[in-house]
Structure 1
Amino acid sequence: MELFGRRVGSVWRRAAGLGWPVAVQHTFTTLMRTVDIIVTGLFSPAAVAAVGLADLYAQLPLRVGLGLGAGAITLSSQDTGRDAEVSRDRAITLALVIGALCGLPLVAVGLFHGRPLIALLGAEREVARLGGLYLTLVFGVAPMRIVGLVGARALQGAGDTRTPMVLNGGVNLVNAGLTVALGLGIWQFPRMGIVGVGLATAISRTIEAALVTAAIATPRTALSLEPTWDTTVARQVVSVSLPSFAEGMSTSIANFPFNSLLLLFGTEANAAYHIGRRVYQQLTGPLYRSASTVTSIIVGQALGEGKAAEARRDAVSLLVLSFALLTAAGAVMFLGAERIVAVFTNDPATRRHAVAFTRVFAVSMPFFGVFFPLAGALRGAGDTRTPFYARLAGTFVFLLGASYVLAVPLGYGLVGVYVGMVLSYACWAVIVAAGFYWGGWADTAASMIAEREEESEPEGE
């Protein structure tokens, strides 16, 4: 028992060392987005609506980057664990190149179809015009956005979580400063309005991609660029990335009908949901996202070393830590919901609904504490399909299906939506837990590693 306690303590200390930079990084990212919303709100309601609608499409490069980032962190962590630097660097380089290529079509879409895409959502003429300008700028740097995300995940997979924190944190501060300067026209900068907000994002994402690529290419980090085509590595990067991309897109796509369902109960209810969502993302996002990333790193490296049993024990230890932290955070959110929501709105109806939504998210935090570390463990092994199935089932069966049936045909209104939301997150947790305890994720990792070893044998001789 004493030995077990020391092992758990060691894993938790390692997780804290790896996790705090990830948490800080996500905190800066969320705060940057908050600054964008505050500045845009000073222009006009049309500008706010334009950015909100454009961000629905801007999810696409984000999801591509996170999907390829899952492939990068999986192979990077596994190959770091087995000291296969050449294979790791090839995987990272291929993921960066594939990401940049995936972003090129989005540049063309933004240039020629930005405004029509916003108008397609039913936006008024001025909203479509402003949203089209913003989307053109955001899509214009899609390759850079994807490269920045992939490069950061590659560094994290190798155990370096501080470099992405420093680079991303600095870039987000630049973004926030340029958003204020170019959007509002302070100091010597021209007042460019929503174009300035979009331009600030474009500049910062370009800087981020350049810095991340330079960090990988120079001796300052353990990684390097290895521009050698390897069919096995390329296939594995894509096979791991596609389900992760589909997982994220399933959530993004579901946002359209779910928001339509909320609008049946009024604009205040819809606004309240977004306030509650902002609250939980700001307060707990750094925790559950770092739990996912850290578990991927630790499990992937253990599997790379051939220690499957140790990987499983470490994942369970991190599950316990994540569950405890997020349950505690949920309790704080639940008890402090009224005071927290008061920061966002003074409208009585919106405030009342927002408190309820915040408490729904608070009650769901224990399920987040299960889903994210276990999903991270599965991704570290190369199993990105199970988390995809979990989100797909939870989102479409419960978040959309159960919420609608309970709220509209059965007449429970927003209470039915609340129940559907909690059930969806519970579904996420149950499916990944089943996949972790009964799935063959360790065999998946071993098979992937064996393929890469076989492919690299001639070069090692």
Structure 2
Amino acid sequence: MAKHEGQAQPYLEPLPPIGLRPLLALAIPSAVFAFLTNGFRIVDQYFIQGVSVEAQAAIGSSAFVLIFTYATFEVFAAGAGPLIARATGAHDPLARRTLLGEAIYGALLLTMLLMVLGTLGAPMITHTLGLEGQSAIECTRYLRTLFLTILPLVLTPLVDQTFISMGSARPPLLLHTLSLGLNIILTPLLIHEAGLGIVGAALASNIARGIGVGIGLILLKRITGLTFEDLKPRGQLRRIMRIGTPMALGTAFFAIVYWGLLKTSVSPLGTHVNAALGIGFSALEGCTWPLFHGLSLGAASLAGRYLGARRPDLARRTFHMALPLATLLGLAASLIFFFAGEALTALFTDDIAVHRAATEYAVILAASQLFLAWEALSEGILAGAGDTRTVFWYSTPFNLIRVPLAWLFAFPMGFEASGIWWAINVTTYAKALFKGWAVWQGRWTTIEP
């Protein structure tokens, strides 16, 4: 045991002082690696355009299937994260190692389940997205390949969350840099040179992620003293799942809502709107959302460790200190979407109808980027404290409203695609205000996850 505790010492340092420097030391690498994570979708969107509009629509629509699937990974990543942060703040390496081992054990069981359900259910999933013809065929092929090779996808968020919760965002940054670099090389080779088309995109993503995850697990073993003996239930798995489940359900409902949007509003307007949503969501917001998410992860790590050290005052000050930075990032994203949206969307399509719809998405979503930044920060503070139920209740109802609201704006009111984008904006405003209010109240500083 002494050996393991000795290995853990680099990440059991005294708490960082309150200030922008410790926050940025976590937020900047976190934002970069979050961007790199989303970079997989950007790479797929870019290289798949040479196959067909149907393949591009399939990639764009399947993004929400992946988000739904990611929700199941989040049970263990979001559940273990705040507990590992508190164990780090409390200088308890044994508890930290036990939590990590049980979380990995749960993730491995989940992988086996997803491989079976996802592979067999791919055609049904595609049907629920409202895709037809060649788009449906391409989507089914893509999903089957992803689910057959899904282990790296399941483990990636847990590995990332563990490092950040211990106060180090540099390893995930380096690992995601390596993975994305490999993905950029492999994707065109497997799609075009090997002639695998959309199947090549899925294989390239998971091969690249697999290499990064493997290295990450080796690093965690050296830092925490993790052994194969730790990969079994020891009484903490239920606690991990209890904390992670509200976050997972929130993410799952977010994906289900977009599924509903695709089925009821987006797909009925045509393939070009499917492709535009994929470009706007995966490519444009795939560049700006990581900035908000990185700040959120940094604030969550600090808040969790401060609470573990019994310093709720420092946890509160973390939010107040990060709020101006979130505001600046949100305003910058709004300006980029509004003034550069047309030029940026042109990079991902040569189709006039797709380009027009994607540009409209960018201009309209510019009106919600500031609120999205505020929402992300508030959610990070709440999640870092382990108050995941509040995150769920101030996310899910507003996300669910998007489906009927988008349909109402798009068809009865006649706004078509622009009505869908405005429905997203309106509900984002509500989520940001309620989560911000919950953080301001401060109940999250008193709970014991």
Please indicate the TM-score interval, normalised by the length of the shorter structure.
0.7 to 0.9
Alpha carbons of structure 1 residues 266 and 81: separation in structure 2 relative to 1, 3 Å: same
Q: How big is each residue's C-alpha offset from its partner over 1:56-76, in whole Å with a ceiling of 9 and x where there is no partner?
A: 433343222234211122111
Q: 1:200 aligns with which of 200, 204, 208?
A: 204
Q: What is the aligned counterpart of 1:236 among 212, 234, 239?
A: 239
Q: Distance in 1 between matches of 2:385 and 2:77?
A: 14
From the superposition, tell whether residues 280 and 43 of structure 1 become closer, same or farther in structure 2 (CA, over 3 Å): closer
1:424 counterpart = 2:427: yes
| Aligned with residue 17 of structure 1, among 4, 20, 25 | 25
Distance 1:417 1:109, change over 3 A: closer
Question: Pairwise mapping of residues 160-175 of structure 1 onto structure 2 (< 5 A)?
Answer: 160-175=168-183
> Do the aligned partners of residues 162 and 132 (structure 1) sit closer, same or farther apart at CA in structure 2, a change above 3 Å counting?
same
Counterpart position of 1:455:
none
Q: 1:350 to 1:69 in 2, by over 3 A?
A: same
Alignment of 1:319-334 (within 5 A): 319-334=323-338
Residue 176 of structure 1, CA deviation:
2.4
Match of 1:443? Answer: 446
Please list, as runs of the form range in 1=range in 2, the aligned pairs for 1:178-327 lying within 5 A after superposition: 178-185=186-193, 190-218=194-222, 221-222=223-224, 224-225=226-227, 226-227=230-231, 229-231=233-235, 233-259=236-262, 260-327=264-331
Counterpart for residue 27 of structure 1: 35
Which ranges in structure 1 are unaligned for 5 or more consecutive residues?
1-7, 449-461
- Structure 1 contact 107–140 (Cα < 8 Å) conserved: yes
Contact 2:334-2:367 at 8 Å conserved across structures: yes
Which residue of 2 is the match for residue 454 of structure 1? Answer: none
Q: Within 1, Cα distance between the matches of 2:85 and 2:225?
A: 12
How far 1:374 moved relative to its partner? 1.1
Q: What secondary structure, in the 3-state scheme, does the structure 1 residue paired with 2:361 have?
A: helix
Per-residue deviation at 1:198?
2.5
User: What is the aligned partner in structure 2 of residue 452 from structure 1?
Assistant: none
SS at match of 2:142: helix
Give me the whole-angstrom Cα distance separating, in 2, the residues matched to 1:287 and 1:199. 27
Q: 1:93 aligns with which of 74, 81, 101?
A: 101
Q: Secondary structure at the match of 1:405?
A: helix
Residue number among 341, 347, 362 corresponding to 1:343 in the alignment: 347
Cα deviations by residue, 1:308-333 (Å, 9 ceiling, x for unpaired): 11101111211221122222221232
The residue aligned with 1:105 is: 113
- Identity of matched residues, %: 24
Given that residues 11 and 318 in structure 1 are in contact (C-alpha distance below 8 angstroms), is that contact kept between their aligned partners in structure 2?
no
Q: How many matched pairs?
A: 431
Residue equivalent to 1:158:
166
Q: For the residues of structure 1 that align with 2:420 and 2:134, how far apart are their CA atoms?
A: 33
User: What's the offset of the Cα at 1:411?
Assistant: 4.4
Q: Retained in 1: the 8 A contact 2:247–2:389?
A: yes
Relative to the length of structure 1, the TM-score reads 0.85
Q: Write the distance in 1 (CA, Å) between the matches of 2:267 and 2:387.
A: 37
One-letter amino acid of the counterpart of residue 250, structure 1: F
Deviation at 1:126? Answer: 5.2
Partner of 2:126: 118
Distance 2:344 2:379 in 1: 29
**Please, which of 361, 374, 381 is the counterpart of residue 385 of structure 2?**
381
- Per-residue Cα deviation, 1:268-323 (whole angstroms, up to 9, x for no partner): 44444443334542331221110111111010011011001110111121122112
Q: Is 1:84 aligned to 2:87, yes or no?
A: no
Report the equivalent of 1:394: 398
Higher relative contact order (CA 8 A, sep 6+): 2
Please state how far the C-alpha of 1:371 moved relative to its aligned partner: 0.7
CA separation in 1, counterparts of 2:250 and 2:430?
A: 14
Matched-pair contact (CA < 8 Å) for 2:102–2:231 = yes
For 2:368 and 2:196, how far apart are their aligned partners in 1?
A: 41
CA displacement 1:225-270 (0-9 Å, x = unmatched): 5446432x32221111101111111111011221231345454444
> Which residue pairs with 1:456 in the alignment?
none
The one-letter code of the counterpart of 1:404 is W
Q: 1:74 aligns with which of 78, 82, 96?
A: 82
Matches of 2:422 and 2:132, distance apart in 1: 34
- After superposition, the Cα gap between the structure-2 partners of 1:223 and 1:246, relative to the gap in structure 1 and judged at 3 Å, is farther
Task: Supply the AA of the counterpart residue of 2:246.
Answer: P
Superposition deviation, residue 44 in structure 1: 3.3
